[in-house]
Amino acid sequence: MSNFFETSIEFLKGVGPQRAALLQKELKIFSFGDLIQHYPFRYEDRTRFYAIKEIDDAMPYVQVKGKFTDFEIVGARHKKRLIGYFTDGKNEMEMVWFQRIEWVMQKIKPNVEYVAFGKPTRFGSKINIAHPEVEPVTENNLKGNSFQPVYAITETLRKRHIDSRLISKFQHELIKLAEPHIRETLPEFLLRQHHLLNKNDALKNIHFPKVQESLLAAQHRLKFEELFYIQLRLIKMKLVRQDKFKGLIFNDASILTRFYKEHLPFELTEAQKRVIREIYTDLKSGKQMSRLLQGDVGSGKTIVAFICMLLVIGGEAQATLMAPTEILAQQHFTSLKKFADKMDISIALLTGSVKKSQRKPIHEELQNGKLKILIGTHALLEEEVKFKNLGLAIIDEQHRFGVAQRSKLWQKNTEVYPHMLVMTATPIPRTLAMTLYGDLEISVIDELPKGRKPIITTHQFDSQRLKVNGFIRSQINSGRQIYVVYPLIEESEKLDLKHLMDGYESMSRSFPDVAISIVHGQMKSEAKEFEMKRFVKGETKIMVATTVIEVGVDVPNASVMVIESAERFGLSQLHQLRGRVGRGAEQSYCILMTGVKLGADTKTRIETMVRTNNGFEIAETDLKLRGPGDLMGTQQSGALDLLIADLSKDGQILQQARESAVAILTQDPNLENPQHAVIKAQVRSLRKTVVNWSRIS
Ligand code: ADP
Ligand code: MG
């Protein structure tokens, strides 16, 4: 029966081999099943006619019925446009054309009844529709009978005459054939419990909804299903791991007493203490820990990492920390070494640039157990890196690593897997965390160390540079240091570098008596390091740099972060950069420089930065602006390639789906209960179709 959905798309009426090849290439639609799951991404509401009075610019697409009373051409040349004054008998609005004006004037006559359709926009105080679809009233369109689905297509498809309408035709054809083959994929009790539409109706209504309610019901059902099976898989992995993967037991915390008494440089925050307790509970449990530690920049994750390492080292095992870049690994090494030295614990750094001759002793001491802590980049994953007894593996900045790498590190111990702690400085919105790390336990440091003054963030236009320079001067005079950051993206690298150099020169002119450092990605790493060090030592007062300093060295004396062309940075990146200041006791500032013309999204980004220092709030906003895939980068966007659910909007459905999945698996881990047979069958069939599902083997 399920074979029906595996039928090649080629065999659908009207498709054939050529179109099939195009659909495969452009949309990855291979089979009937793929097509039926190619859901519309929006709908045109043809179910009703709106009164002009009701229309506002927040509406997606609207349909109005009425007559044109007059036409007028305004503006000249490329600003020329045709305005049609359109009335529904009570109120008037404007329809606007910028192109094909002659053609429109020939075709559309005044005082004839038309149906007009399009997206309302606001133009000053007026609402208009640009380039509406206009058709004379006929019996057919008067009925105003449906939502018309709009399907995603590509430019290539459009050129080859495969448009949304044609896809809609294919869907129509397919739905007719498919009906007898559609089987329910959620158990009866879940449908009832969550008031979900059955699968058959859901599929019909997602493609061809008659009314708004049935569209919403269809969307809700399909989103729930999608999220439910993702959660089910994650929770299953978690249960399997808890069940199968034994963990080394570390239940002696006496080593901490000495560290706390003699070497802890500050009082831990409540959040840090709580997280350490959570981790210690895992370490004692006899099961492998798999935990995500989230904490905003500056929340003090490093010391937490070290304390966890201590617990493991106290139990005669080793610990490792993997960072995504050399510079970050170096920084971790430097800060951890300070603590390690005090406790007489041997620590080493292993990155790609460590020479062969230096590697040998590291390899040896790892194997004989003399070396207790190894910090590094993915060089840690190489075969030769063998531990005597790895107790804890910490991964920093997880989202830059692939999932495969995570499990590779994991397998460094063959008998008992090491405990795993994944740290991220980029707060991840709940919905994303539940989806990407739904198989992990989650700890959050949601408190900054005491005495930190919140960073004051302002937005300044480029025209206010003199004022900004005056402020920089006053900060330098009171002994502070300044970062000035420029964007540098690969696509426009040359131009960006020029801006950076121009900026450097202009700073040098404005501050002729001040020592200025410059650092960018094109410099040799020794030169970079040299400049960084000068800045760290306070020999230079201003650091002009590209985003390399995003993960750079910690300079508590730096109190001002000026971000040039701030409109070109993503929200999370701006927040990340801002985290470079505010590390000392002084009041710190972040100044976002932009041009005058800003798009709506940019305005939101800037306003958000000015309003809040809370990384979680920023991450939520970023998710809404950019969508989950972009937010997490390409590495893991695969896991976020959802067919219909939207993690920026469907948090509530996700929560319900997760709770259901937890309840079901806790009660019946192997889905043996006949009530769960439907789920079991669906899990099997999903496993067949989705290849890269195995995050853990
Ligand atoms: P992140 O979470 O960004 O890695 P770090 O671990 O680098 O943060 O900590 C930022 C700074 O705060 C460091 O200089 C660190 O020594 C300091 N710090 C960490 N915890 C505390 C605390 N409880 N009280 C005071 N300062 C702290
Ligand atoms: Mg850190």
Are 165 and 311 in the same domain?
A: no
- Beta strand pairing status for 81-87 and 92-97? antiparallel
Q: What angle do CA 192, 184, 177 make, to 5 degrees?
A: 135
Distance CA(684)–CA(693), nearest Å, equals: 12
Band of pLDDT at residue 696, cut at 50, 70 and 90:
very low
CB distance 425 to ligand 1 below 6 Å: yes
Q: How does pLDDT run across 500-522, given as a tens digit for each residue? A: 899 999 999 999 999 999 988 78
Mean pLDDT of 221-226: 97
Are 56 and 128 in the same domain?
A: yes
Burial of 382 (0-12, 13-18, 19+ CB in 10 A): middle
What type of residue sits at position 167?
I
CB distance 302 to ligand 1 below 6 Å: yes
Sheet (strand 456-461) strand order = 456-461, 589-594, 558-563, 481-485, 542-545, 516-519
Whole-Å CA distances, 234 to 440, 632, 659, 666: 9, 18, 12, 13
Are 369 and 465 in the same domain?
A: no
Are 36 and 53 in the same domain?
A: no
Higher pLDDT, 95 or 636: 95
Of 371, 374, 391, 418, give the one whose Cα is nearest residue 311: 391
SS3 427: coil
Q: How does pLDDT run across 338-385, given as a tens digit for each residue? A: 999 999 999 999 998 899 999 999 999 999 999 999 999 989 988 889
Phi/psi of residue 157, nearest 5 degrees: -65, -45
Burial of 514 (0-12, 13-18, 19+ CB in 10 A): middle
Of ligand 1's atoms, which has the minimum distance to the CA of residue 304?
6
Instruction: Quote the pTM value.
Output: 0.71
Domain-terminating residue out of 424, 445, 469: 424
Tell me, yes or no, whether 593 lies in a domain. yes
Mean pLDDT of the chain: 89
**Total domains present in the chain:** 4
Q: Token match 């992995």: residue?
A: 237
CB distance 615 to ligand 1 below 6 Å: no
Bridge partners (DSSP) listed for residue 475: none
Alpha helices (runs of H) in 511-599, residue ranges in sequence order: 525-536, 571-578
* H-helix or E-strand spanning residue 307: helix 301-314
What type of residue sits at position 33?
G
CB distance 270 to ligand 1 below 6 Å: no
Q: How does pLDDT run across 38-51, given as a tens digit for each residue? A: 999 988 878 788 99
Band of pLDDT at residue 555, cut at 50, 70 and 90:
confident
Structure tokens belonging to residue 156: 């290539």
Q: Which of 266, 267, 588 to mutate to test the pocket of ligand 1 (most atoms within 8 A of CB)?
A: 266
Are 407 and 505 in the same domain?
A: no
Task: Show Cβ contacts of residue 234 under 8 Å, excluding neighbours closer than 6 positions.
Answer: 435, 438, 439
Structure tokens belonging to residue 481: 């240091």
Tell me, yes or no, whether 627 lies in a domain. no
Tell me, yes or no, whether 291 lies in a domain. no
Rg (CA), the chain: 30
Mean pLDDT of 282-305: 91
Let me know: does 86 contact 92? Beta carbons within 8 Å. Answer: yes
Ligand lying nearest the CA atom of residue 582: 1
How crowded is residue 360: how many other Cβ atoms within 10 Å of its Cβ? Answer: 11
Are 361 and 264 in the same domain?
A: yes
Tell me, yes or no, whether 515 lies in a domain. yes
CATH code, 91: 2.40.50.140
Sheet (strand 81-87) strand order = 120-123, 126-130, 92-97, 81-87, 62-74, 114-118, 133-136
User: How many Å lie between the centroid of ligand 1 and the Cα of residue 299?
Assistant: 6
pLDDT score, position 552:
53
Instruction: Reply yes or no on whether the pLDDT at 11 is more than 80.
Output: yes
Distance CA(199)–CA(186), nearest Å, equals: 8
Tell me, yes or no, whether 139 lies in a domain. yes
Tell me, yes or no, whether 23 lies in a domain. yes
Structure tokens belonging to residue 174: 């397919």
Tell me, yes or no, whether 385 lies in a domain. yes
pLDDT score, position 551:
57
Of ligand 1's atoms, which has the minimum distance to the CA of residue 302?
6
User: How many Å lie between the centroid of ligand 2 and the Cα of residue 260?
Assistant: 20
Are 509 and 576 in the same domain?
A: yes
How crowded is residue 369: how many other Cβ atoms within 10 Å of its Cβ? Answer: 13
Tell me, yes or no, whether 548 lies in a domain. yes
What type of residue sits at position 579?
G
User: How many Å lie between the centroid of ligand 1 and the Cα of residue 269?
Assistant: 10
User: How many Å lie between the centroid of ligand 2 and the Cα of residue 397?
Assistant: 9
Higher pLDDT, 451 or 596: 596
User: How many Å lie between the centroid of ligand 1 and the Cα of residue 239?
Assistant: 34
Which domain does 318 fall in, by range? Answer: 254-285+300-424
Are 158 and 134 in the same domain?
A: no
Bridge partners (DSSP) listed for residue 692: none
Q: How does pLDDT run across 176-208, given as a tens digit for each residue? A: 999 999 999 999 999 999 999 999 999 999 999
CB distance 299 to ligand 1 below 6 Å: yes
CB distance 331 to ligand 1 below 6 Å: no
Are 500 and 392 in the same domain?
A: no
Q: How does pLDDT run across 92-126, given as a tens digit for each residue? A: 999 999 988 888 999 999 999 999 989 899 888 88
Whole-Å CA distances, 334 to 186, 330, 358, 524: 53, 6, 18, 21
The set of long-range contacts for 33-38, using a CB threshold of 8 Å and a minimum separation of 24, is: 33/5, 33/6, 33/689, 34/9, 35/9, 35/170, 35/171, 35/174, 36/5, 36/171, 36/174, 36/175, 36/178, 36/203, 36/207, 37/643, 38/151, 38/152, 38/167, 38/171
User: How many Å lie between the centroid of ligand 1 and the Cα of residue 265?
Assistant: 10
SS3 269: coil
* H-helix or E-strand spanning residue 496: helix 493-510
CB distance 269 to ligand 1 below 6 Å: yes
Are 279 and 311 in the same domain?
A: yes
SS3 462: helix
Domain-terminating residue out of 578, 593, 612: 612
Are 281 and 324 in the same domain?
A: yes
Are 485 and 379 in the same domain?
A: no
User: How many Å lie between the centroid of ligand 1 and the Cα of residue 472?
Assistant: 26
Nearest residue (by CA) to ligand 1, atom 11, is 298
Q: What is the DSSP letter of 545?
A: E
CATH code, 508: 3.40.50.300
Distance CA(132)–CA(116), nearest Å, equals: 6
Domain-terminating residue out of 118, 145, 172: 145
User: How many Å lie between the centroid of ligand 2 and the Cα of residue 561?
Assistant: 18
